[in-house]
Structure 1
Amino acid sequence: MANGSIYTLAEEIGVSPSTVSRALNNSPKISEKRRREIKELAREKGFKLRDFAPRLTNLCIMICTDGKEETIFSSYTEQVMNGVNQYCTEQELELSIFSSPREKLNRINTVKELFRRSVDGVIVLNANDDCTFIAQFEKEKIPYCCLLSGNPQFSENILTVNNEALAERAVDYLIQLGHREIAFLHSAPHNPAQQDRLKGYRKALAKAKLPVNEDFIPEVAPTFSVTGIEHGFQATTQLLSKHPEITALFAASTDLSIGARSAFYRKGLRIPDDISLLGCDNSQETEYFCPPLTVLDIPNARIGRSAAAWIHRKLQGEGTAHPPTEPWMQGSLIIRETTAPPRTN
């Protein structure tokens, strides 16, 4: 191209680079009017398009990490990917996965890297207020959506549930059962979703005029090589050793619940006779816990599917300006067999 690139074309017209690419390749997903506009400007700029083989629209799940040895797969990510994959399969779209530390994504030209991978739209997982690279998506008009958490500066593109209200409801339920010594277990101190659940925990205790014992909120292990399950086991083991008076534990993820359950078993505690356990994310395995786990049902798979559908509509020029909100996205409390009134001495 004599006077620029596909990026300068996109910037001048006010669309994403992927939209320019599809228009120049006569994609039916771009309106005829828009294709003519882009082609006319391309001719004026001396742009010569290489011959490309027809390809499918590519939706990318971008998994942000803290780096080092942190695992990218959890019950949450698996559920989201299942929902996105289901939609992509039905609509004959291509699905790709891109994982990278937040620090690297902030440092590089992330949009250019995604374009190199032929990505058309992005679903971002595990984003937080450190994710400044999201500003690149905004500038280049890349269709994207952050799930459950994101950079608060761009909150309008976060598809989430009210984690604070859900957590408050969970702790309210434990209090109604008669529990007063309730611990909270989390594994991601910089994750807005888990932090909102912690806020809900504190709010419920305050509402019931119960003191918040900071010792009941274990600090997160400093090494990222420790998984949610491992942290759940280690933190719960230490917590029970120091505070055997605890009668209920609220875990902010399924993996933490798995680790906590193992710690209870090692301590000889029966669920729910000796201690109650309440988790988050209604993944398939929670129903087959022994006993079945009481959970906050956060519809991760359905949210993933909804995000994929919204981005796809955006790529077709049909989507709303911001991700949809539906009543089912508020989640619910599923009461099973791991919660009961506290033991009596």
Structure 2
Amino acid sequence: MPRKPKRTTVYSLGNELDVSVATISKALRGSPEISVELRKKVRDLAAKRNFKPRVVSRKVPNICVLIQQYPGHTLDFGLFLSTVMEGVAQYVQEEGLEMSIYADTIDKLNACDIVRELRRRSIDGAVILRSNDESTYFAQLDAEGFPHCALLSTTPAHRDNVITVNNDEVGYRATRHLIDKGHREIGVLVSPPAGVSGQARLSGYRRALAEAGIAFNEQLVAHEGSDKTGLQFGSDAVQTLTRANPRMTALFVMDHAVVVGLLHGASRIGLSIPRDLSVISCDDYPETAFLQPPVTVIDIPNRALGYEAARQVYRLIRGLAPLPIDTHIDLNGRLIERESTRTI
């Protein structure tokens, strides 16, 4: 009679790797006490032996909002971050989960054992904000199968774990709106610094100009640096650009704080919006309709995107495949026309 094949257990795995049962258990749980190399060895052997640890009742799952800080910028909870986190918090509350926040600079995130650091904080999955092409820590998250979703990132190597707005189309729609109103000398304020979304929106701006037969003019472009706040950048840039380009009749702005600063700067030099300068911005926050004048925007559904990212991460935590993005979310941005733009 043929012998039954030996059943794989934590004990047999420990014997094969010459480590203790406790070490095997911790490695399979992704404990930060175990090195990356040993965790990988244990997981690879467990997969080879078709071993799946028993799922036991444990703590409430914790979804973390991991915020990658821009170089040279302190952490700020502006309208974008707070709105996205409202969406994450709504989903977490509905599902009875825990939520936490972890923020650090890109160099520290890239240099650390990111999975160990997240596990040390009892985090089970992460919604990642402000990542970019230099975010090499994604490689470890992928290698160790740590549940995550990058929101509003266009990091090419991680498309399977990304929910992103079509920022090129956002830039195109904003610029097209101004062109349709008769504007041809159209400036643009590019932000945030070190962000991929601004460059993609600039690409959409250039596409709309080219389609309308309008030559791109570098003199009509201002880039936000890390030495100023968005408010200060907007105030300074509108004054600088209008002085250098007296024929400019419209501006495309990419950030709420920048447009608030722009309105301040315009008032200081006696510029009337929209009589002298039409302005369109991105994101529709409650404050936007109460600015003077109320600002035309391409609305980005940040709250809905935060909710969707948390939903996808929780599926990954439970070992389920991600679902298609909710079709009610407009990833191309939605035009809301108000009083800051006019036809010429």
Matches within 5 A, 1:244-283: 244-283=246-285
Aligned residue pairs total 309
CA distance in 2, matches of 1:72, 1:152: 26
Letter in 1 for 2:256: T
CA distance in 1, matches of 2:326, 2:123: 25
Letter in 2 for 1:151: T
Q: Which residue of 2 aligns with 1:145?
A: 149
Given the alignment, which residue of 305, 312, 315 partners 2:314? 312
Tell me, yes or no, if structure 1 residue 341 matches structure 2 residue 329. no
- The structure that has the greater radius of gyration is 2
Letter in 2 for 1:220: E
Letter in 2 for 1:286: T
Q: Which residue of 2 aligns with 1:324?
A: 325
Please say if residues 134 and 151 of structure 1, whose CA atoms lie closer than 8 Å, have aligned partners that are also in contact.
no
Alpha-carbon displacement from aligned partner over 1:200-235 (angstroms, at most 9, x marks no partner): 000000110101110111133252xx2222211122
Please say if residues 145 and 323 of structure 1, whose CA atoms lie closer than 8 Å, have aligned partners that are also in contact.
no
Please say if residues 57 and 94 of structure 1, whose CA atoms lie closer than 8 Å, have aligned partners that are also in contact.
yes
CA distance in 2, matches of 1:11, 1:264: 61
Q: How far apart are 1:317 and its partner, in Å?
A: 2.7
Any gaps of 5 or more consecutive residues in structure 2? 1-18, 31-37
Q: How far apart are 1:281 and its partner, in Å?
A: 1.0
Letter in 2 for 1:37: K
Tell me, yes or no, if structure 1 residue 288 matches structure 2 residue 290. yes
Letter in 1 for 2:71: G
Please say if residues 87 and 309 of structure 1, whose CA atoms lie closer than 8 Å, have aligned partners that are also in contact.
yes
Letter in 1 for 2:327: E
Letter in 2 for 1:256: V
Q: How far apart are 1:170 and its partner, in Å?
A: 1.4
The secondary structure found in structure 1 opposite 2:127 is strand
Q: How far apart are 1:39 and its partner, in Å?
A: 4.5
CA distance in 2, matches of 1:188, 1:174: 22
Q: Which residue of 2 aligns with 1:193?
A: 197
Q: Which residue of 2 aligns with 1:125?
A: 129
CA distance in 2, matches of 1:68, 1:110: 21
Given the alignment, which residue of 200, 204, 208 partners 2:208? 204
Letter in 1 for 2:341: T
CA distance in 1, matches of 2:64, 2:273: 40
CA distance in 2, matches of 1:150, 1:105: 18
The secondary structure found in structure 1 opposite 2:287 is helix
Q: How far apart are 1:69 and its partner, in Å?
A: 3.8
RMSD over aligned Cα atoms = 2.4
Please say if residues 251 and 279 of structure 1, whose CA atoms lie closer than 8 Å, have aligned partners that are also in contact.
yes
Tell me, yes or no, if structure 1 residue 160 matches structure 2 residue 161. no
The secondary structure found in structure 1 opposite 2:222 is coil
Letter in 1 for 2:202: L
Q: Which residue of 2 aligns with 1:56?
A: 60
CA distance in 2, matches of 1:318, 1:222: 40
Cα 1:311–1:10, aligned 2, differ >3 Å: closer, same or farther?
farther
Given the alignment, which residue of 37, 40, 52 partners 2:52? 37
Please say if residues 67 and 100 of structure 1, whose CA atoms lie closer than 8 Å, have aligned partners that are also in contact.
no
Any gaps of 5 or more consecutive residues in structure 1? 16-33, 41-48
Give the TM-score normalised by the residue count of structure 2. Answer: 0.83
Q: Which residue of 2 aligns with 1:111?
A: 115
The secondary structure found in structure 2 opposite 1:183 is strand
CA distance in 2, matches of 1:221, 1:68: 10
Letter in 2 for 1:297: D
CA distance in 1, matches of 2:206, 2:256: 20
